[in-house]
Amino acid sequence: MPKDMNDIEERRSKTLILRKPRSTDGSEIWELVRACKPLDENSMYCNLVQAEHFSDTCVVAEMNGQIVGWISGHMIPNEDALFVWQVAVSPKARGLGLGKKMLEHLIGRDACAEATQLNTTITKDNEASWALFRSFARDLGGELSDKAHYKKELHFDGHHATEHMVTITLPEEVEADAKSAA
């Protein structure tokens, strides 16, 4: 078997665990995000607070005891919408569909049961994120739309590319499944 095939088989054989993050995961999450360009690096403190205060709407993926995936998110106040802030997948876990698995896991949680839509922001040049969320919406049977939201000059003083608000309408079956699992 070619070396590349061995690597793929080895990665697939590793056990993935999807779980809520703990505050003690903060530094490992921070290191993962730093290794996943072009994600914005937040402070380690930010990741620690996200892991502790928003654990119900964040996901950590572990493979052999090491954090290889992370989604930070929160329910938008006064809306039935889950906002996904960042999705990070370690190079060690790429090619396993982990980003989509974490999104599916997240929308199935009790804390997200009231969500009728998922929102995230993506810059136009982040092809990996566009591919993930388009694939997720398609597999879910949800509608995906986007529009410029946080604008380069207006919001970022010219220092960051415009972020497009991506909205995925969650099908009623997904909402019903989440509510019946509660």
Per-residue CA distances from 75 to 38, 91, 119, 138, 181 (Å): 24, 28, 10, 22, 18
Residue 102, token pair as written in the block: 């974490």
CA distance 176 to 152: 38
What is the Cα–Cα distance from 29 to 32, expressed in whole angstroms? 5
- Please, what is the average pLDDT of the chain? 89
Give me the tens of pLDDT residue by residue for the chain, a chain 182 residues long: 455 555 555 555 568 999 999 999 999 999 999 999 888 888 999 999 999 999 999 999 999 999 999 999 999 999 999 999 999 999 999 999 999 999 999 999 999 999 999 999 999 999 999 999 999 999 999 999 999 999 999 999 999 999 999 999 998 765 455 545 44
Question: Reduced to 3 DSSP states, what percent helix, strand and coil does the chain have, rounded to the nearest 5?
Answer: 40, 25, 30
The reported pLDDT for the residue numbered 175 is 46
Query: Distance between CA atoms of 12 and 14, rounded to whole angstroms?
Result: 5
